[in-house]
Copies of this chain bind each other. A is one copy, B any other.
Amino acid sequence: MAEPKKAKGTLTIYDVANRAGVSIASVSRVLNGQGSPRAETRDRVMRAVRELSFVRDGAARALSNGLKEVVGVVFRRGGEELFEGEDESFLFIDVINRGIEVGAQRRGFDLLISSVGFNDDNVAARIAALAGKADGLILHDRMLSTVGIARLADMVPVVTLAGSPTPASLNVRCDNGSGIRALVRHLVLDHGYRSLGYVSGRADSPDNRTRSRAFENEAAAVGATIDTGPAWQGNYSAAGGANVIETLLDSRKKLPRAILCANDQTALGVIHALAQRGIKVPQDVAITGFDDVPVARHLHPPLTTIRQPMKELGAKAFDVLYSRISAGGGKADTVLPVELIVRESCGCPPGSSPPQNPSPAGAGT
């Protein structure tokens, strides 16, 4: 009584066949564009389909075909606080998903999405259930431990985003290292700044670790001095960035000539804190971000930053997953190029042209 087994008079291919006076095989063929049905057969089927408003059941098709045409997407949802600071990452996830969708639509796939909260219990079970409803899975961020991913990849093809490949799963990411290197080179080689600082992101973020390491290596390579230490620890938020600057200034530290920020949000906070203390950007200190969020171009001064091809990232993730689903192949680790966006916060004049130093950000691929 509470849960009727069938919605009601579920329409099947038999109903269509009856009405059209043909066999269900013919109906199926017409609907799939298989074989070469007689024009009359085709017309009768199409008319019956239209008159009955018939749609094939996806579950039955999937069972028969061994293909659901569904890609599962899992990501971590923030706390209940949607808007305070959380909204950027929120947007990012959705832009990537949009990209996945673009790729998926080319193949007739749809996105089955499921977010998991930080304190959800049976996460593994939930993801497993999702796996059962999809042909493959795309995992945002680090949702699962490496063994968790491996176990999952045992059941179904898996692509991770911004992680690293495992023996069983594929990975797609942006070239963080190149982005940071392009920034360092621009600041040091094009502008001649000799001292650099890096306001980091969350310590547990793989992206942040990569960026941080690239910063140190490249600064050394081009002979710039760097400021480091716990005082430079941010957390990807504007508040975190502002806090770093205030702490530094309160302890009467001399700021480096240029400061790279782990992301745009951080840069936003840093610029704000600097303005409060009457320090001019870029005249006194040059600032750069990472991400190129929508507001980056509207800051004062407009932010020099690194653009990640978010949408392409998603589309690529789907493509890689698809090739594994359909052919069992798929590149283990795909790295997408990023792009240096030169605006004014680095000290360049308004409307300036691309940077001068060679091979900026692994671009051109």
8 closest A-B pairs by CB? A58-B133, A59-B62, A58-B132, A53-B154, A83-B294, A55-B132, A59-B63, A59-B59
Q: Is the CB of A327 within 8 A of B90?
A: no
Given A91-B91, A155-B55, A294-B83, is A114 in contact with B101 using a C-beta cutoff of 8 Å? yes
A32 to chain B, nearest CB (A): 12
Query: How long is the Cα–Cα vector from A304 to B38 in the complex, in angstroms?
Result: 66
Q: Is A112 an interface residue (CB 8 A)?
A: yes
Mostly, the A contact residues are mixed
A362 to chain B, nearest CB (A): 23
Chain B contacts for A90, CB-based, 8 A: 91, 94
- Interface members, chain A 322-336 (any B CB < 8 Å): 325-328
Q: Is A5 an interface residue (CB 8 A)?
A: yes
Q: Is the CB of A55 within 8 A of B91?
A: no
Chain B contacts for A10, CB-based, 8 A: 66
Q: Is A172 an interface residue (CB 8 A)?
A: no
A96 to chain B, nearest CB (A): 12
Given A111-B114, A115-B101, A311-B82, is A55 in contact with B87 using a C-beta cutoff of 8 Å? no
0 or 1 for each of A18-61: is its CB under 8 Å from B? (1 = yes): 00000000000000000000000000000000000111111111
A8 to chain B, nearest CB (A): 7
Q: What are 22 A-B contacts with C-beta separation under 8 Å? A: A3-B67, A7-B325, A8-B328, A54-B155, A55-B128, A56-B132, A57-B63, A57-B132, A59-B60, A59-B133, A72-B110, A82-B95, A82-B311, A94-B94, A101-B114, A110-B113, A110-B130, A111-B112, A111-B113, A111-B114, A112-B112, A113-B113
- Interface members, chain A 68-126 (any B CB < 8 Å): 68-70, 72, 77, 82-84, 87, 90-91, 94-95, 98, 101, 105, 108, 110-115
Of B7, B115, B327, the contact of A66 (CB 8 Å cutoff): B7
Chain B contacts for A4, CB-based, 8 A: 326, 328
Q: Is A191 an interface residue (CB 8 A)?
A: no
Q: Is A6 an interface residue (CB 8 A)?
A: yes
CB closest residue in chain B, given A105: B114
A122 to chain B, nearest CB (A): 11
Q: Is the CB of B101 within 8 A of A110?
A: no
Q: Copies of this chain, how many?
A: 2
A116 to chain B, nearest CB (A): 9
Query: How long is the Cα–Cα vector from A83 to B151 in the complex, in angstroms?
Result: 38
A293 to chain B, nearest CB (A): 9
Given A2-B326, A5-B65, A294-B87, is A133 in contact with B70 using a C-beta cutoff of 8 Å? yes
0 or 1 for each of A140-159: is its CB under 8 Å from B? (1 = yes): 00000000000100111100
A16 to chain B, nearest CB (A): 13
Chain B contacts for A105, CB-based, 8 A: 114
Chain B contacts for A114, CB-based, 8 A: 101, 105, 110-111
Q: Is A131 an interface residue (CB 8 A)?
A: yes
Chain B contacts for A5, CB-based, 8 A: 65-66
A155 to chain B, nearest CB (A): 5
CB closest residue in chain B, given A60: B63
Query: How long is the Cα–Cα vector from A297 to B108 in the complex, in angstroms?
Result: 42
Q: Is the CB of B110 within 8 A of A110?
A: no
Of B98, B134, B157, B325, the contact of A77 (CB 8 Å cutoff): B98
Query: How long is the Cα–Cα vector from A108 to B151 in the complex, in angstroms?
Result: 22
A198 to chain B, nearest CB (A): 26
